[in-house]
Structure 1
Amino acid sequence: MDRRARTYRGALALLLGGILVTGCGGSGTSNDSATADRGVAGSGGPAGGKRAPSAAAGPQEDGAGQAEDGAARGSVAPDYLSTFALDVDTASYGYARRTLGDGQLPAAGTVRPEEFVNSFRQGYERPDGNGFSVNVDGARTDAADWSLVRVGLATKTAPESGERPPAALTFVVDISGSMSEPGRLDLAKTSLGILADELRDDDSVSLVTFSDEAETRLPMTRLQGNRTKIRDAITAMEPADSTNVAAGVERGYDEAVEGHRKGANNRVVLLSDALANTGETDADAILERVGDARKEYGITLFGVGVGSDYGDELMERLTNKGDGNTTYIADETQARKVFVDQLPAHVELRARDAKAQVAFDRKTVKQFELIGYENREVADDDFRDDSVDGGEVGPGHTVTALYAVRLREGASGHVATATVRWLDPKTREAHEETGSVGTGAIDGELWDDAGARLQVTAVAAYFADALRGGDLQGAPTLGELAGRARELASSTEDSSVEKLATAIEQADRIRNGGGDEPPGGEGEGELG
């Protein structure tokens, strides 16, 4: 082992030798200080709350923290900026569909609207080179004076030739007793077997398993000439005892550091139900471990969730800190999509520490509310501070932020300008791109005049908001949303929208006491 790996491992041993905390991690956001800085009224974290709309600072007589009817909405700073780290996760939507298919409503704290929205194709214009295109549009809702404004960011797709730097992937696989349930370890083994066939000869993989302790099953190994050896290591995995996620993460990053390949895309892939019950189970302590490897070696983390019981919060926070993203798989169809269609093409990054800031025009906007992204908030003043963590985005991804916006009476003209800032993955040079929207571009009626993709976005966001007990202005009922989704599935010929309609119907049926009816609609949404 070289000196840098010994130094890194020693520091981590001290770091992870902290206090043992039972449970699966805290319930707060990973960016609590940012909430106060944004001027958010009644801020709710990912555990389920809703926050009141922010007031776009207008004439003095409007006051602060008051809705138009005079009802207090909490203390709202005169802030017309919205700043957040980009997020391409889709796990929340996948897990919600699995839960609904099992005849239950998902817990409100596991529902993140941005991950519902980002699970569907958007049809944004792509940039010619690296970086982002910025697309801003919207439409009027059924609520008076309220509109939806969609900020869409897109990266260039991966070359069809498959040209990319080699990948060095460390797979960290949960083999605890809970993984013996059908659809967990068996699905993980199938997924890795599929990937072993798809990776290139110049790619490398290592394999770590964990239960009560962690074990290296395979050090970093080139695919060329070793595919049988790799498949044998995958096949040999069998369920064991407890779930020591911290041990798995520690060993996985040790292997990723020791097998680090300069010029390659180095990534840790965690496959688990994330139900930590042994060793260090507090998310923050594990996150520190991930953060060190991210900063020093540029190793990113990709989380793949499995199981009917799933530690959503722990996996989400791990990957956020690890500059990666999460997804959820429930069957082989979804596994093939993730490990064949997505992972091989997306191991390369288009942008690091990407953040977005939307500036609303106080002359035209009375109030606004960002739908979701509560645990990705960034202080407005930190937007151009490149030491502040943002999100990592790969080729072909889209990121959508949907806002509920209340226009001032008779408003006309500029509504908002959206700016995305990111660092080049190789040079760390900062870049920005902007786009704007005016009242004329959001004047059409959502369900009559807007394009099909914007309507799908609205249905997904309204659905997520309903599942977590929200009250977005102009939101249709679940029954109405299901009908909209069925119509959109027909017009777009998009199977993922058909599955969305099924999920909404299941939620409506469960809420109305029909949870015992047979579930349906297996499958997954589209990433980007």
Structure 2
Amino acid sequence: MERRTRTRQGVLALFLAGGILITGCGAGGTVSETSADRGVAGSGGPAGGEQPPAAPSAVPGQEEDAAGRAEDGAARESAAPDYLSTFALDVDTASYGYARRTLGDGQLPAAGTVRPEEFVNSFRQGYERPKGNGFSVNVDGARPGVASDWSLVRVGLATKAASDAGDRPPAALTFVVDISGSMSEPGRLDLAKTSLGVLADELRDDDSVSLVTFSGEAETRLPMTRLQGNRTRVRDAIEEMEPADSTNVAAGVQQGYEEAVEGHRKGATNRVVLLSDALANTGETDADAILERIGDAREEYGITLFGVGVGSDYGDALMERLTNKGDGNTTYIADETQARKVFVDQLPAHVELRARDAKAQVAFDRETVKQFRLIGYENRKVADDDFRDDSVDGGEVGPGHTVTALYAVRLREGASGRVATATVRWLDPRTRTAHEETGSVETGAIDGKLWDGAAPRLQVTAVAAYFADTLRGGDLPGTPSLGQLASRARKLASSTEDSSVEKLATAIEQADRIRNGGGDEPPGGEGEGELG
């Protein structure tokens, strides 16, 4: 089989010329999104600017916003609290997958690797799908405690499910595979090879693939090659991969994008797929320096990056930042079952796009809402004024995807009427035409009891969000104990007949045992609110 090691020149100049640095990335801690402290996701700062990790804030119920304290109109006007929440859409799920792997190994995940939105987006939501190629906007909610004045508000966005695989555009996929020494452990390179072998069988004859490997240096194992008549050649290239030494992620990403540019197919979905434990230890190990190399490929050629994480030790932050900048998403696989789910069952959503640079903006009504907090999305914030600026990076969403944003909302006493209006804006992947869709929710629609009568999928969403917030030491009002969450998850698994909810219950039970074994009391117990 033909092999060639490329010198990584020529196209490198193209990537470096733009000098584009990372935007919209960086792992942050728990941030209180109330109108008392900062008001919204992203307001008051440049779009996508990096924020230092923040310590968990005080319980929102202990604070009041400026408008709530002011009694006269002049004071309210001068305080001018921000009632907008704006963020880039995110369909990543790697944080939840890696947390499950870590808990299965008998350890709690590091707080910085826990992103609640990725826990929530790992589960089916049951949203109504749009008839066209845009989004449906679904808004609902419930009260987690009978005596609580806080409610959970769920903003759900959904795209139309994938059509027959033959209807999608052809794909030009560049696989960048980590073959460093750390990938020799079971469940890493072996799993990557299995995944790619499955994928080679599932792709169409008119799809194309190339293969780049990296350890201390990067090597092109297979230039862009049509599958028709070449499947044996592709499988041979995959099987010949063997672990080497160090991990030069920068070299792999750089050469992968060079291959993707050289093999670019007009009218096709051009994507780089990075399979790695993302533990960079050679060459550029800083995400910003690596990301400088891919900015122009995204802008000029529309090449997106899909990250697949593997390994018990996993560079979660680096992988997420790379895919955020590369207009893609991340997932995590720990076994062959998950690999098949990603590369076979979800393949259309990973190859095709329904929307580019998608953003959401939720406007809360100041007459009914006293405080609110967006749960998660800390590193996907967008300045409110940039919502309709289509040059500002958003998120990429494929067919059949759902995106959920969950808010803790405190209503004003006796409030009645509109609570929030949610708007999603996105660009058509082919024409770059901007579109918007809107939905809203009233006070009566979020006043029911979460644990007694609310839609089962809303309850699953709440369990996943509370679980994530507890793991990272958060302070959401109304958070049940881990034991209570596990019990809720078990009941929901039975009522929904959903094996993924059963696995959620197992993960919560594992976390509870680990916490109790260490003598720690899980935060956010019954003192935060009764179960209805």
Query: SS at 2:126's partner residue?
Result: coil
Q: Residues 171, 56 of structure 1: CA spacing in aligned structure 2 closer, same or farther, 3 A cutoff?
A: farther
Q: Any conservation in 2 of the 1:171–1:271 contact (CA below 8 Å)?
A: yes
Aligned to 2:526: none
What displacement does 1:61 show?
Answer: 0.7
1-structure distance, mates of 2:18, 2:359? 29
Q: Any conservation in 1 of the 2:18–2:295 contact (CA below 8 Å)?
A: no
1:354 aligns with 2:349: no
Q: Any conservation in 2 of the 1:56–1:79 contact (CA below 8 Å)?
A: no
Q: TM-score, normalised by structure 2?
A: 0.87
Q: Any conservation in 1 of the 2:67–2:80 contact (CA below 8 Å)?
A: no
Aligned to 1:518: none
Q: Any conservation in 1 of the 2:306–2:328 contact (CA below 8 Å)?
A: yes
What displacement does 1:152 show?
Answer: 0.1
Aligned residue among 83, 86, 92 for 1:83? 86
Alignment of 1:54-93 (within 5 A): 58=67, 61=70, 78-93=81-96
2-structure distance, mates of 1:489, 1:106? 23
Aligned residue among 291, 294, 297 for 2:295? 291
1-structure distance, mates of 2:156, 2:254? 36
Query: SS at 2:267's partner residue?
Result: coil
Q: Residues 13, 295 of structure 1: CA spacing in aligned structure 2 closer, same or farther, 3 A cutoff?
A: closer
2-structure distance, mates of 1:77, 1:244? 49
1-structure distance, mates of 2:393, 2:165? 32
Aligned to 1:312: 316
Aligned length: 487
Q: Residues 62, 159 of structure 1: CA spacing in aligned structure 2 closer, same or farther, 3 A cutoff?
A: farther
1:188 aligns with 2:192: yes
Aligned to 2:112: 109
Alignment of 1:58-457 (within 5 A): 58=67, 61=70, 78-142=81-145, 144-160=148-164, 162-457=166-461
* Aligned residues with identical type, % of pairs: 83
1:489 aligns with 2:493: yes
Q: Any conservation in 2 of the 1:171–1:269 contact (CA below 8 Å)?
A: yes
Query: SS at 2:493's partner residue?
Result: helix
Q: Any conservation in 1 of the 2:216–2:247 contact (CA below 8 Å)?
A: yes
2-structure distance, mates of 1:116, 1:51? 21
Aligned to 2:522: none
2-structure distance, mates of 1:166, 1:86? 25
Aligned to 2:483: 479
Query: Could you give the per-residue CA deviations for residues 256-303 of structure 1, whole angstroms, max 9, x where no partner exists?
Result: 000000000000000000000000111011122222211110000000
In structure 1, give the amino acid aligned to 2:319: M
Aligned residue among 37, 43, 65 for 2:43? 37
In structure 2, give the amino acid aligned to 1:61: A
Q: Runs of 4+ in structure 1 displaced over 3 angstroms? A: 5-8, 11-16, 25-29, 33-36, 43-60
Aligned to 2:56: 50
What displacement does 1:225 show?
Answer: 0.3
1-structure distance, mates of 2:280, 2:18? 18
2-structure distance, mates of 1:176, 1:77? 54
What displacement does 1:10 show?
Answer: 1.9
Query: Could you give the per-residue CA deviations for residues 447-468 of structure 1, whole angstroms, max 9, x where no partner exists?
Result: 0021100000000000000000
Query: SS at 2:162's partner residue?
Result: coil
In structure 1, give the amino acid aligned to 2:361: Q
Q: Any conservation in 1 of the 2:306–2:350 contact (CA below 8 Å)?
A: no
Q: Once superposed, what is the RMSD of the aligned Cα atoms? A: 2.5
Q: Any conservation in 1 of the 2:264–2:270 contact (CA below 8 Å)?
A: yes
Structure 1 spans left out of the alignment, 5+ residues: 19-24, 64-75, 516-528
Aligned to 1:21: none
